[in-house]
Amino acid sequence: MDAIVQDRPPKFQETKGFQPGPLGTHITVRGLNKSFAGQPLYQDFELNIPKGKITCVFGPNGCGKSTLINMIAGLIPLDSGLVLFDGKTLKQTRIGYVFQNYRDALFPWMKSRSNIAYPLKLAGYDKAAQEARVNELTETFGISFDLDRYPYELSGGQQQLVSIMRALAPHPEVLFLDEPFSALDYEMTLTIRDTLQRIFMNTGLTMVVVSHDLEEAVYLADEILLLTKRPTRVAELVPFETERPRDAQTLASEYFVQTKMRSLEIFQREVRR
């Protein structure tokens, strides 16, 4: 708790007491405000994201799904509010981020191998340690294409795999993914979705995935975070607690179908509101 007290900005401390999340919470968002051009997107927004689980974020178009994870990941500033990771600030936390558009995310002048090693270089790993980690990831991911190629020489799916490997290289505590499948074909979506699930099962890291596709969101999620229209609130958190690995059988299960239906009802209620 000491860390929380020290990390709390004085202004926040004066205006509101910090409420920790329930047991098992990893990320706490408190009193978050964000407006664009004077139009509020988030107003006094509160959220608890569980540790070691996959949370999929789903909601109406333009409700601020990407903005939310970008603010939590520190890519865009909050107007006000507080985000803590197990009571630590963002600076004290290792995070990974996978962008929707892998074409713009990878450094085109670096070979794929160097792209993956880049965050390790920044973190001060020596050459041998960088190489060992890249080799370890290559094995875990079962990569059979040549990592000495430049990103433009790879297919879209291969580029997205390289992006995910780069994000995972420094052993993040939290991995954020913004619509990681939206630019991929169906076959590659299935492959990468199951790769992510396998990585999750091996590492147990906290994952937050923005998704446009409800079926995909439920399939991956331990918890579906359904958002309202702006000013955006949490409409509901729908659990999907079923065993992993999930597969085609999961999609056909009654529990999956019911969870998807329930999520769809909440989504439609919020869109019509």
Ligand X SMILES: Nc1ncnc2c1ncn2[C@@H]1O[C@H](COP(=O)(O)OP(=O)(O)OP(=O)(O)O)[C@@H](O)[C@H]1O
Please, what is the minimum distance in Å from the beta carbon of residue 156 to ligand X?
Answer: 19
The residue (of 61 and 144) whose beta carbon lies closer to ligand X is 61
d(CA 136, CA 112) in angstroms, rounded, equals: 15
Please, what is the minimum distance in Å from the beta carbon of residue 67 to ligand X?
Answer: 3
Other Cβ atoms closer than 10 A to 31: 19
Q: Could you give the string, one character per residue 1-40, with x where binding to ligand X holds by CB under 6 A and - elsewhere?
A: -----------------------------------xx---
Q: Contact with ligand X (CB under 6 A): which of 41, 177, 208, 217?
A: 41
Please, what is the minimum distance in Å from the beta carbon of residue 71 to ligand X?
Answer: 9
Per CB under 6 A, 55 contacts ligand X: no
Give the rounded distance of the alpha carbon of 200 from its chain centre.
12
The residue (of 76 and 201) whose beta carbon lies closer to ligand X is 76
Q: Could you give the string, one character per residue 61-100, with x where binding to ligand X holds by CB under 6 A and - elsewhere?
A: xxxxxxx---------------------------------
d(CA 6, CA 24) in angstroms, rounded, equals: 22
Whole-Å CA distances, 190 to 63, 67, 181, 186, 241: 26, 26, 9, 6, 21
d(CA 148, CA 132) in angstroms, rounded, equals: 15
The residue (of 105 and 199) whose beta carbon lies closer to ligand X is 105
Contacts of 114 by beta carbon, 8 Å cutoff, 6+ apart:
107
* Contact residues for ligand X, defined by CB under 6 A: 36-37, 41, 61-67
